[in-house]
Every structure is written in structure tokens, then in C-alpha cells.
């Protein structure tokens, strides 16, 4: 066991003395040390009750014959960090989380790991650490929040964001918004729709790194606690069988994750995160892979922010296992892949079934024939950009209009809230990429304002930053190369025509190539918006969104 290096033999008497100072017994020190990365805190609804999950994991580890050792990691609530400087730190926190787990695991010679997590950057950060460490590991999420209700209508966090736009446009009064605010988030858990947190929890299960049910069992259900106990027991079994993450996170496992991604209509952020996790696992995937999968895998579930269903409905309808079982009918899932149950995907989903075909549609009756995401290329994004095509109204799948250019989210939000954006406009928000932001902010406020004002069927948004998993409409993010790297988006001018053709996967700046070259020859890189601290260091070493925004 790796932990023998800190607890076995006469030379390790000082080390054992330190363990005994914390109450560990000789019997506990004979067992494998299983680290528990715990991202519990008092600032994220999805993490506020993770200590309860960790207690269950500890019980499972002890039942399995191991000794649990818990430690904390950081976590940012994207909703609270939204639309101010705090969001610059969100994506960048993913790397800090992965690094901190690595540091703790190696410094203390853990034999195996359980990653207890729930929300946007914390889930991929822990998966990245799992791949990097390659110790037997299981990821356990805290589970999704239940949706809220108001006047008989189901609502969630996005209802609040879009309500702000509705108030600004005179479609709603502030008293009604206050009622929505009070009812939208009724329990702890990751926000109720198929936003980034729940997307990543579902994909963790799909790629085999989470137990069946990990993606969908609501946070408040006792089944979530039982799942945590099972994870603790199972990780000791993985250790005994020497099953490590890189044996699970194979190329075929990532293909499974992408297939489920497309069927569920997940967040565009999954593109960044899957590429970063694959990078740590030594698996090569690129943007073209997402398009290839999307062309073959239909969109079967319409969850918020696109449809009326929420993750609790998906759980009731059979969960991720039922979605995979349905996809198997066309051989769209690699069923031989190994998982953290110690069994194959085929064995895991053998008894799965769709119990509500209104939530999980059959392959013959999908919401869309192609998957939820599309990657567009063209002279405005030679290295690609990403759109949640399942969230785009039909008339906006092809759109051409004049650019309205802004050099920050704040400028764009001010113009939108000030009702200065006209029908047909293409809002361009630049210098918000990994380097230029820095930090590649999610921009839920401008997209929600557009939707709340009823303009999502009339206005497109394009950025080298990101859009939230809660975004709907023709919102195209991750434009690469970004403005700060001298991409074409840096030289777009107000009034330039921009053509978007999502079915053909094209995005075009409607000016001659020679004019683009002339403008770029005169372009000068602006000074960094932040020049000190962690985020300044991050900006110097992060790659483009088209490469997963990984730190080199």
C-alpha cells in the first residue's frame, strides 16, 4: 500500500505518533488510508450539506475495511459570482481544486480517494485530479436541488435571472420578481436544471467514474446518503482489484460521456471540462469529436433551461442509466467500458428502463435529430466556438445581422438593460476569454436579460468567454482564438455583418479576408485587466477555450 510510506515500520514511529495525536488507533493504521476530498462550504447551495455526504462516505469506507481521512477543498458558487469580478475566478478555480487534491493525496500517501463534490468547476477539478493521480477513486455528488413552484408553475434559478430582464422591459413588476426569488431554490443541491453542475454530475456517471444514480438522485433524498455509503465501500473494492481511473476514463468512456451529453442537452461548458479531464487522462479528444457525436446522437431530453423538465424528473424517469439503455438500441454506447462499480456499463444498465417517455423520449421521437451541442468554425472562429443548439429557436438556427461590439460583459449588460439592442443585432462580447477576461467568465446576466425581454428569438450573442449552462438562445461562446490572442473577434467593428449557420456549423464575419488581415496588422494587444495575483498568473499559462482552457 502507498500509505505504508507514512505508517509502516520502525522508522515511521514519528508519523504514527502524529496519527495517534488525532485519535487514530493501531488497527486503523493497518488499513488502507482513503482520502476524502470534501468541498463542503457555507456559500454554495450544492455544497452546504456535503458534510452529511462525507459522513456517509466515511461509514462506507469503514464497512469496506479502510480508514477514511477527510480534507477540504475550495469551491465557488457561479450564481453568486455571476456578473461581477468574482466570475473571473470561477473557471480558474478548477485548476486550484485539481492541484490541491493532488497535493494532499501525494503528501499524505493516500491509497485511494473519494471525491465529494457537486457544482460547476468543482466536479471537473476533482475528475482532473482523479486522472492525474490515478489512484482508485470514486466521485460522489451531493445531488440536484428540487425545482421550485409558484402559482402552479415550476421555476428554478434561471427564472430569477430572466425575471430581471422581464422587469427591465416592463413585462413584470418587482413584487412578482420578489415572489420568484423566494420560491425558485427551495432546497439545497446543485441548481435544478441541466446546467453545468448537473451536466457534469451526469457525465461523471456516464463515463463510469460515479455510481449509478450519481447524476440525478436529488440532494434531499435518503437514496443520496445510501449512494455515498456504497461509494465508500466500493472504493476499497477498487483498491483491492487495482482498478484505477485511467482504466475507466478511456477513449470509449469519453465517447459515452459525449453521447449522453448530446442526448441530455447539457451545458456548453461540458466541452471545456471533458477536454481538460481527457488531457489529464492522456486521452486525445478535440472539437471535431463533439460534432461527430452530435451528428449521430439525437437529443432525447428537454430539461430546463430549454424545456419544462428538471433533473428530479429525469431521475424519476430512469436517470442516466435509462438514457444510456435507450442509446444502446442504436449501439451509440460502448457497453464494455469498465466503471467504478467494478462492472461494465452493460452490467450496470442491465435493469435500467425508461419509466416516463415524456421525459426521456425514444430514439424514434427525439426532440432534435442531432445532439444538444454544436461546434461552429469559420473566419471569425478558426479554432471553433460552441453553441447549445437544442436551446436555439428554429428561426435563429440561421441568422445574419449587424455586429454590436462590446469589450466587456459589463458594457454589453448595460446596453441590453438600457434597451439599446435592436431586433436582428448580433451582440459581440470580447476580451472575456481565458487570457483576456482573464478567466473566461460565464455570462448568464446578458443572456438572461435578452431572454427575459423576449429577444432570444431575435438577437444572437457571440463571445470569446463562456455562457452559463442556464443560458438559452443563440448564444455562441468559446470563440477561439480569443481577442487577447489576436483572433478575428478582436477586430470586429459595429455594423460588420455576421452570419451564423448552425446546421452547417459555420460562423462568418462578412468582410473580405484581406480586410481582416489589414485590421489585425494594426491591432495591438491591450493591457491585462488584472495584473497581479493568482488570476494574472493563470492568464499567462492558460490555453484557449478551443483546447479546454487547460493550464500548460
Active site residues per annotation: 468
Contact 246, 131 (CB under 8 A): yes
Query: Collapsing DSSP states into helix, strand and coil, what is residue 480?
Result: coil
Count of residues making up the chain: 552
Q: What is the dihedral of CA 154, 472, 139, 346, to 10 degrees?
A: 90
Q: How far apart are the first and last CA of the chain?
A: 31
CA distance 163 to 150: 13
Q: Give the angle subtended at the CA of 205 by the CAs of 444 and 53, to the nearest 5°.
A: 85
- Per DSSP, helices labelled H in 475-544 are 513-522, 534-541
What is residue 143's three-state secondary structure? coil
Query: Cβ distance 450 to 412 under 8 Å?
Result: no
Which residue is associated with the grid cell 448580433? 426
Q: Are 58 and 40 in contact (CB under 8 A)?
A: no
Distance in angstroms (rounded) separating the CA atoms of residues 272 and 275: 5
Q: DSSP for 1-51? A: -TTHHHHSSGGGHHHHHHHHHTT--HHHHHSPEEEEEE---SS-TTTTTHH
Amino acid at each position: 500500500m502507498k500509505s505504508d510510506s507514512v505508517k509502516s515500520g520502525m522508522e515511521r514511529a514519528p508519523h504514527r505518533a502524529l496519527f495517534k495525536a488525532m485519535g487514530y488507533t493501531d488497527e486503523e493504521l493497518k488499513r488502507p488510508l482513503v482520502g476524502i476530498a470534501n468541498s463542503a462550504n457555507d456559500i454554495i447551495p450544492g455544497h452546504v450539506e456535503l458534510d452529511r455526504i462525507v459522513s456517509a462516505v466515511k461509514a462506507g469506507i469503514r464497512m469496506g475495511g479502510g480508514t477514511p481521512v477527510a480534507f477540504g477543498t475550495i469551491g465557488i458558487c457561479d450564481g453568486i459570482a455571476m456578473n461581477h469580478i468574482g466570475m473571473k475566478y470561477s473557471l480558474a478555480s478548477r485548476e486550484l481544486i485539481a492541484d490541491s487534491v493532488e497535493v494532499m493525496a501525494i503528501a499524505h500517501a493516500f491509497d485511494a480517494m473519494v471525491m465529494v463534490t457537486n457544482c460547476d468547476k468543482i466536479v471537473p477539478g476533482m475528475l482532473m485530479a482523479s486522472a492525474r493521480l490515478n489512484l482508485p477513486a470514486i466521485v460522489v455528488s451531493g445531488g440536484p436541488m428540487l425545482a421550485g413552484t409558484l402559482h402552479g408553475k415550476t421555476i428554478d434559478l434561471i427564472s430569477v435571472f430572466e425575471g430581471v430582464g422581464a422587469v427591465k422591459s416592463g413585462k413584470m413588476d418587482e413584487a412578482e420578481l420578489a415572489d420568484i426569488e423566494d420560491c425558485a431554490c427551495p432546497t439545497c443541491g446543485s441548481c435544478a436544471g441541466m446546467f453545468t453542475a448537473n451536466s457534469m454530475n451526469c457525465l461523471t456517471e456516464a463515463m463510469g467514474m460515479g455510481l449509478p444514480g450519481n447524476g440525478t438522485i436529488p440532494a434531499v433524498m435518503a437514496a443520496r446518503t445510501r449512494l455515498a455509503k456504497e461509494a465508500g465501500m466500493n472504493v476499497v473494492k477498487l483498491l483491492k482489484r487495482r482498478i484505477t481511473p485511467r482504466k475507466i476514463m478511456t477513449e470509449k468512456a469519453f465517447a459515452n460521456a459525449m453521447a449522453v451529453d448530446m442526448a441530455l442537452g447539457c451545458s456548453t461548458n461540458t466541452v471545456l471540462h471533458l477536454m481538460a479531464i481527457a488531457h489529464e487522462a492522456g486521452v486525445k479528444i478535440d472539437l471535431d469529436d463533439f460534432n461527430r457525436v452530435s451528428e449521430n446522437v439525437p437529443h432525447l431530453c428537454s430539461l430546463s433551461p430549454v424545456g419544462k423538465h428538471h433533473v428530479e424528473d429525469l431521475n424519476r424517469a430512469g436517470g442516466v442509466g435509462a438514457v444510456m439503455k435507450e442509446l444502446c438500441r442504436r449501439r451509440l454506447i460502448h457497453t464494455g467500458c469498465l466503471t467504478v462499480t467494478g462492472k461494465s456499463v452493460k452490467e450496470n444498465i442491465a435493469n435500467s428502463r425508461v419509466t416516463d417517455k415524456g421525459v426521456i423520449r425514444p430514439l424514434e421521437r427525439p426532440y432534435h435529430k442531432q445532439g444538444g451541442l454544436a461546434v461552429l468554425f469559420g473566419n471569425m472562429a478558426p479554432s471553433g466556438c460552441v453553441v447549445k443548439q437544442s436551446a436555439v429557436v428554429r428561426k435563429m438556427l440561421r441568422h445574419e445581422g449587424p455586429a454590436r461590439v462590446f469589450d466587456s460583459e459589463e458594457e454589453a449588460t448595460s446596453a441590453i438593460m438600457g434597451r439599446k439592442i435592436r431586433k436582428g443585432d448580433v451582440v459581440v462580447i470580447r476580451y472575456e476569454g481565458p487570457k483576456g477576461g482573464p478567466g473566461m467568465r460565464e455570462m448568464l446576466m446578458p443572456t438572461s436579460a435578452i431572454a427575459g425581454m423576449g429577444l432570444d428569438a431575435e438577437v444572437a450573442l457571440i463571445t470569446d468567454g463562456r455562457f452559463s449552462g442556464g443560458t438559452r438562445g443563440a448564444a455562441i461562446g468559446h470563440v477561439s482564438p480569443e481577442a487577447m490572442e489576436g483572433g478575428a473577434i478582436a477586430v470586429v467593428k459595429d455594423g460588420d455583418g455576421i452570419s451564423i449557420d448552425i446546421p452547417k456549423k459555420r460562423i462568418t464575419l462578412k468582410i473580405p479576408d484581406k480586410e481582416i488581415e489589414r485590421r489585425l496588422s494594426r491591432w495591438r494587444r491591450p493591457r491585462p485587466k488584472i495584473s497581479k495575483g493568482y488570476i494574472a498568473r493563470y492568464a499567462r499559462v492558460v490555453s484557449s477555450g478551443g483546447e479546454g482552457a487547460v493550464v500548460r
